[in-house]
Amino acid sequence: MTRVGFGFDLHPLVAGRPLVLGGVTVPGDRGLGGHSDADVLSHAVAEALLGALALGDLGRHFPDTDPRWRGISSLVLLRHVHALVGARGGTLVNVDATVLAQAPRLAPQLGEMAARLAETLGLPLQRVSVKAKSPEGLGLLGREEGIAAMAVVGVEVAG
What's the pLDDT tens digit per position in 9-63?
A: 999 999 999 999 999 999 999 999 999 999 999 999 999 999 999 999 999 999 9
pTM of the model: 0.97
- Specify the DSSP class assigned to residue 115: H
User: Which pLDDT score is estimated for 138?
Assistant: 97
Mean of per-residue pLDDT scores for the chain: 97
Average pLDDT over residues 109-133: 98
- Specify the DSSP class assigned to residue 22: T
Q: Is the pLDDT of residue 90 over 90?
A: yes
User: Which pLDDT score is estimated for 158?
Assistant: 87
**Number of folded domains in the chain?**
1
- Report the CATH number that the domain containing residue 103 is assigned in CATH: 3.30.1330.50
User: Which pLDDT score is estimated for 118?
Assistant: 98
User: Which pLDDT score is estimated for 109?
Assistant: 98
What residues make up the domain containing 62? 2-156
Sign, CA torsion 94/6/121/119: positive
Work out the percent of the chain whose per-residue pLDDT is above 70: 99
Q: Would you tell me how many other CB atoms lie within 10 Å of the CB of residue 131?
A: 15
Nearest to 23, CA basis, from 9, 5, 37: 37
* β-strand partners of 130: 97
Task: Give the separation between CA 142 and CA 140, rounded to whole angstroms.
Answer: 5
- Specify the DSSP class assigned to residue 45: H
Q: Is the pLDDT of residue 81 over 90?
A: yes
| Inter-residue contact 117 to 73 (CB < 8 Å) | no
User: Which pLDDT score is estimated for 67?
Assistant: 93
Residue 151: phi and psi, rounded to 5, are: -150, 150
